[in-house]
Amino acid sequence: MPYIDTHCHFNFPIFAQHLTRSLGAIRQAQLQAIVTPATQADDFNSILSLARSTPEIFPALGLHPLWTAQHHDEDLDRLRHLLDNHDDIVAIGEIGVDFYTAELAALAPRQWEILSVQLRLAKEYSLPVILHSRKSHDPLSKVLKDAALPAAGVIHGFTGSYQQAKRFIDLGFYLGVGGSISYPRANKTREALARVPLEQLVLETDAPDMPLNGYQGEVNRPERVVTVCQILAELRGESVEKIRDCVWQNSLCLFPKLSAVLS
């Protein structure tokens, strides 16, 4: 069974400018699909173009909270226009809220405003969402409960507690498992991901970011999703084959448009 990386910024220059080599590496690792989310409106066209030319790439479009100060209302209008005209978009993402720094926290009203519009788009177009959440799990879960999204989505790079994980899972969301579980100091997250139902987990790398333990300072790569799978298997005391097969099915359930292509 091949792998799916449900979150990799494959449009970033480190991959896109060396496309032949990058594709060779992911194919050797049996990576059959990579969901590539946007961070800014400037990413939209390049991601759509990459997806058209590369069968392994599946596009997600959205406005990332880290760039809140640069986002404009016109960007949201552009997102709607692309949703109207591109049926290959598999999700709205990467979207969410981030209160990690004082500067980001000061932009909280605008972050919530942009997120609200994108959640409405996800509901209107029946698409899942790819959610960035940092220092914001509790208020975000309340907003998602009220939003009642028909297609739910994934909490990307989840690093919260078991209680926070259960809250998202009870709302129908999946949890993205990435490099953070490779760090022994991440006890809270490792415990949570060892306890939650396997049926609510998907694998991701967030490449070129979120390096695994032992690779600090290096560019993260999508093919390391295989290592993430091995670490999750060790953490849960289950076989790699069981983890791999289950998260494959989970990924297809999370992103129905992948299922239509890969099943």
The tally of domains found in the chain comes to: 1
Strand runs labelled E in 135-259? 153-155, 174-177, 201-203
Indicate which CATH number applies to the domain containing 250.
3.20.20.140
Distance of CA 176 to the CA centre of its chain: 6
**Which residues are annotated as part of the binding site for a divalent metal cation?**
7, 9, 94, 132, 156, 206
Residue 162: exposure state from Cβ atoms within 10 A (0-12, 13-18, ≥19): middle
Please, what is the Cα angle at 98 between 227 and 48, to 5 degrees?
65
Distance CA 164, CA 60 (A): 25
**Which residues are annotated as part of the binding site?**
7, 9, 94, 132, 156, 206
C-beta of residue 6 within 8 angstroms of C-beta of residue 247? no
The DSSP bridge partners found for residue 4 are: 33
Q: Which domain holds residue 125?
A: 3-262
Q: Whose structure tokens read 């016109």? A: 74
Q: What is the DSSP string of 189-210?
A: HHHHHHHS-GGGEEE---TTSS
pLDDT, tens digit, 9 for 90 and up, residues 66-95? 999 999 999 999 999 999 999 999 999 999
Which whole-number Å values give the CA distances from 162 to 35, 58, 191, 205, in the listed order? Answer: 26, 30, 7, 21
Q: Whose structure tokens read 């600090």? A: 216
What confidence score (pLDDT) does residue 157 get? 95
On the CB side of 263, how many CA atoms lie within 13 Å of its CA? 11
Handedness of CA 37, 43, 49, 54 (dihedral sign): negative
What is the full per-residue pLDDT of the chain (263 aa) written as tens digits? Answer: 799 999 999 999 999 999 999 999 999 999 999 999 999 999 999 999 999 999 999 999 999 999 999 999 999 999 999 999 999 999 999 999 999 999 999 999 999 999 999 999 999 999 999 999 999 999 999 999 999 999 999 999 999 999 999 999 999 999 999 999 999 999 999 999 999 999 999 999 999 999 999 999 999 999 999 999 999 999 999 999 999 999 999 999 999 999 989 97
What b/e string do you get for 218-239 counting C-beta neighbours within 10 Å, with b at 16 or more? eebbbbbbbbbbebbbebbeee
Residue 96 tokens read as 């969410």
Which whole-number Å values give the CA distances from 191 to 70, 187, 228, 260, in the listed order? Answer: 37, 6, 15, 34
Strand 129-134, strand 201-203: pairing: unpaired
Distance CA 2, CA 245 (A): 9
